[in-house]
Chains A and B, each alone.
Chain A
Amino acid sequence: MTQVSITVDGTKYTDDVEPRTLLVQHLRQAIGKTGTLVGCDTTNCGACTVHLDGVSVKSCTVLAVQADGHEVLTVEGLADGGELHPVQRAFHESHALQCGYCTPGMIMQSIALLQENPNPTEDEIRNGLEGNLCRCTGYQNIVKAVQQAAGSVAAGTGAAE
């Protein structure tokens, strides 16, 4: 067991973990951040996407020990009080989710995409989300949501960042 201290959504959590524990397992099982989901075992689906020190990562490919001393932002830390993050709001308004399983990862990846490129073209959005699979929406409304959120994200990013 190794002790790790990780700040998740603004709160510091110190726990003992097995060295092989994945960050996503640690978030879900130890910290209770079940908003972040697991969809595969080959790093293909992106359901587990979170931000590690402001950069989007697939938390199934990061070990909890690698996150020791770092800051993690999950979908649960996005809304500022009652106020949804612009990307969350855009996903709702554009009907960019159906079952919702890909949604936390999609939202986190979309935010990262917009932070890097505040005014992406449709192609840039599609390529930027290539690592996140959705089986429900056919992606059209996800692309639309990212387009809608573009600009507003540049103006004010997630409060916890």
Chain B
Amino acid sequence: MTTTEARPSTPEKEVGKARTRKEDQRLITGRSRYTDSISLTGMLHLAMVRSPFAHARITGIDVGAAKAADGVIAVLTGADLADTQGSLPNAWPIVPEQKAPAHPSIAVDTVNFAGEVVAAVVARTPQAARDAAELVDVDYDELAPVLDLAEAATDATVIHPDLGTNVSAHFVFDSAQAGTGGDVDAAIEQTRADGGVVVERTLRQNRLIPAFMEPRSWVCDPTGDQIVLYAATQIPHVLRVLLALTLGISESKLRIIAPDVGGGFGGKLQVNPEEVITLLAATRLGKPVKYTETRSESMVAAHHGRDQIQKLTMSATRDGKITGFKVQLLADMGAYLAVLGGGVPALGAFMFNAIYKIPAYQFDLTTVFTNKTWTDAYRGAGRPEATFGVERMLDELAAELAMEPLELRQLNWIKHEEFPFTTVSGLQYDSGNYEAATAKAKELFGYDELRAEQQRRRESGDPVQLGIGISTFTEMCGLAPSRILGALAYAAGGWEAASIRMLPTGKVEVVTGSTPHGQGHETAWSQIVADQLGVPFEDIEVLHGDTQIAPKGMDTYGSRSLVVGGQAVINAAQKVIEKAKPLAAHLLEASADDLEFAGGKFTVKGTDTSISMPELAFAAFAAHNLPDGMEPSLDSEATFDPVTFSFPHGTHLAAMEVDTETGMVKLRKYVCVDDIGNVVNPLIAEGQVHGGLAQGIAQAMFEDAVFDEQGTLVSGSFVDYLVPSAADLPHFDTAMTTTPSTTNTLGVKGVGEAGTIASTPAIVNGAIDAVRHLGVADLPMPLSPWAVWRALQGATPASGSAAAAGTGLGGNDPGGTESARMGAGGVADGRDSASDKTEGDRA
């Protein structure tokens, strides 16, 4: 037998090629299908009535006028749904004592954040629904809102009286208890006694809004017995399970379809009140119902991210060896526990130690309720917060010791020959080469020249000072080994599923449980399968996002798709080959042991007798001549559960200019060298880095979810919440170094979050480095001109105004600056009103 199609005998490898994306054609021609573009016959439309108050008791709701309005079909209140809506799920009870308030989708008697849904109007058109929503008359008894995170933790006013406290959970990882390191308090005391340095700082992680470009949208079609829910979600599979559990619907009656999804970044990893309301409205009325939020609603109601107060203590010997690191966090949960929100900050437990060899370590987390929008995963989820904390501290320690900050890092990081290395938080890093990435980054950046320029500007007293920001980061990706998730009391596993269907015409369908929303899975998975099965890239179709087509999966988040989902695809492909082998042997009248598989065909060793995959697929389909007992199918399915995480890393360098007269901060140059292991598609990987950088830089420079003293989100639109435009960002110089991961056969590490995690501290470190010699010891995020100018006004220059560049001798306040003390004062100082920030970079 010979192959039916002429194909080079050793086809070029697809993995590693910069393939342009299969996904693009429909998106660039406007033939996309986002949820809001779906219209069904007889479809009704929802509009939400939202509370203007952050904390209030509902004393009455008059829906009369709304019900009587033109086109209105129904008005739903919390009382109407009280028996059916259940409580939105909390899937991460991080400690057994964790406290979680009941969370009805429509508030029943109390509202706990401004923007919470209090009623929903169903009408024939979206316009009619919105008009009628204005007519719903709600009476509130206002309660005092609890907004300040540190104050909330004191329980002066308790938000959920039945819980008795605003503290949701207290989670501790201690290296002495875990047996992975020493006792941190003892280490810090010993360091003091030995004449070493102890640096204490309190840092603020600003609150962010994921701000995916597609507002959230749902269409629920309750056809017959089955409920079909189209959802702008990252997690159709998880959603199906959790909606079934929350609402008591049979899981088998529920089909979730994530059509084209316009970005997520963790923000669409949620079980939302609005989706429960849409589903209940549709099933009650027996009609398809659509709800699409406005951007203003999205800003206030879709979950936020970050928002922590970090009290950090790092001790070191005088020659720069870190001896201990103690991390005390307050994390703002907002008004309720979101699906993973209770556990997200705890991921930091494994990442605050980063790439450094730290002998004693403790991570102490308190999660706290406030009367603000709930928080949950946002690109990086727990890891950017940790990376920010530790990389800021390395710069603070360098300043304290008057050491070159890169040299200090090098002195403490894990050397390339020390891998695999088990860290003080107990994770084993499989591979990496921090020296190589740093050397390459320094060279691309022109590190020494920029340091020289910095020194010149300091000496000449240039009003525009230059700073160099450093972040040598790592992250844990490939979420996640199910056993580790179990140990962390996460409600589910972290495996991924895939299946492969060999069609009779030689085409191949690949079904993945990892549902993309812009990441390019269709292209990357096709490359992987093309190599595995030796079929052309073009002949592979990747299917996803519909629980009826891709019934099993854990979806897309945590840089897991390629590392976990990609490996599942490979496992499925291997099973196809195993199934095909006896058939090939049978048809070639050879022994299976004499066959080798390469380039899409089985060949009898030492001969040119072969049979191709398409031929075998057809033979299995026809089933005329199968070996005894063989089923007529080559289709296979597989799952993959990683045994550990993967650990991408990199060195990011930012040249920051600070105008000391105006407080304007400018990112002049950004260089990053990332080690993400092997790369399946360089074009896509680089795109992920770019997008990640933009988001991490935006946290440092532009974005801040700000609430006023009533608890109203004042940065509640794109006018005030500064998502950067093209004009706000520079060109990024990106490069890669490669140490293959050993946790999966592709050798990949994950790339989705790297840019975001690494860049925030690089920017802030750079801005501080520009002005530290002027006596500025800390700058709050975002680096608005006003905040920077104010810090400069309050600063006292260090003795000798031309301090040596790179040594930042200004940081002589070991207790941290006044503006950064743990507590209300520090928090208020670290934030600016939205009106301050709109003077920022995008007019």
Which A residues are closer than 8 A to B by beta carbons?
Answer: 18, 20, 28-29, 33-42, 44-45, 47, 74-76, 78-79, 84, 88, 91-93, 95, 97-104, 107, 122, 125-127, 129-143
Contacts and interface: CB of A to CB of B under 8 A. Distances in A.
A45 B36 CA distance: 17
16 contacts: A35-B31, A41-B294, A42-B717, A75-B28, A78-B29, A92-B20, A92-B28, A95-B687, A97-B27, A100-B260, A101-B262, A126-B729, A135-B694, A136-B691, A137-B694, A141-B687
Contact of A95 (B21, B34, B127, B296): B21
A57 to B, nearest CB: 17
A148 B417 CA distance: 43
Given A45-B295, A138-B694, A139-B694, A133 B213 contact: yes
A102 B726 contact: no
Nearest to B694: A138
Nearest to A9: B30
Q: Is the interface of B mostly helix, strand, loop or mixed?
A: loop
Given A132-B725, A137-B690, A138-B694, A84 B34 contact: no
Contacts of B30: 33-36, 74-76, 78, 104
A103 B28 contact: yes
A76 B690 contact: no
A44 B215 CA distance: 14
B732 interface: yes
B29 A129 contact: no
Interface of B: 20-21, 23-25, 27-34, 36-37, 39, 127, 211-215, 260-263, 265, 294-296, 517-520, 683-684, 686-687, 690-695, 717-719, 723, 725-727, 729, 731-732, 755, 842
A91 B24 contact: yes
Contact of B29 (A41, A88, A93, A122): A88
Nearest to A144: B731
Most buried by A among B32, B213, B261: B213
Most buried by A among B29, B212, B214, B215: B29
Contacts of A39: 213-215, 262, 295
A16 to B, nearest CB: 14
A130 B725 contact: yes
Most buried by B among A37, A102, A140: A140
Given A129-B726, A133-B725, A92 B25 contact: yes
A126 B726 contact: yes
B34 A101 contact: yes
Contact of A127 (B25, B520, B727): B727
Contacts of B684: 95
Most buried by A among B127, B214, B686: B214
A42 B718 contact: yes
A97 B24 contact: yes
A148 to B, nearest CB: 12
Contact of A98 (B127, B295, B296, B519): B519
A5 to B, nearest CB: 22
Given A33-B30, A40-B717, A91-B24, A100 B690 contact: no
A129 B20 CA distance: 23
Contacts of A36: 30
A41 B214 contact: no
A136 B262 CA distance: 9
Nearest to B755: A138
A53 B601 CA distance: 57
A35 B723 contact: no
Nearest to A34: B37
Most buried by A among B127, B212, B695, B727: B727
Contacts of A137: 687, 690-691, 694
A23 to B, nearest CB: 15
Contacts of B263: 98-99, 101, 135-136
Contacts of B31: 35, 76
A99 B28 contact: no
A43 B723 CA distance: 14
A142 B295 contact: no
Contacts of A131: 725
A142 B727 CA distance: 12
B114 to A, nearest CB: 17
A107 B692 CA distance: 22
B726 A41 contact: no
A104 B260 CA distance: 14
Nearest to A28: B37
A29 B263 CA distance: 23
Contact of B518 (A41, A99, A138): A99
A28 B232 CA distance: 18
B718 A40 contact: yes
Nearest to A100: B27
Contacts of B20: 92-93, 95
B32 A140 contact: no
B505 to A, nearest CB: 24
Nearest to A134: B213
B691 A129 contact: no
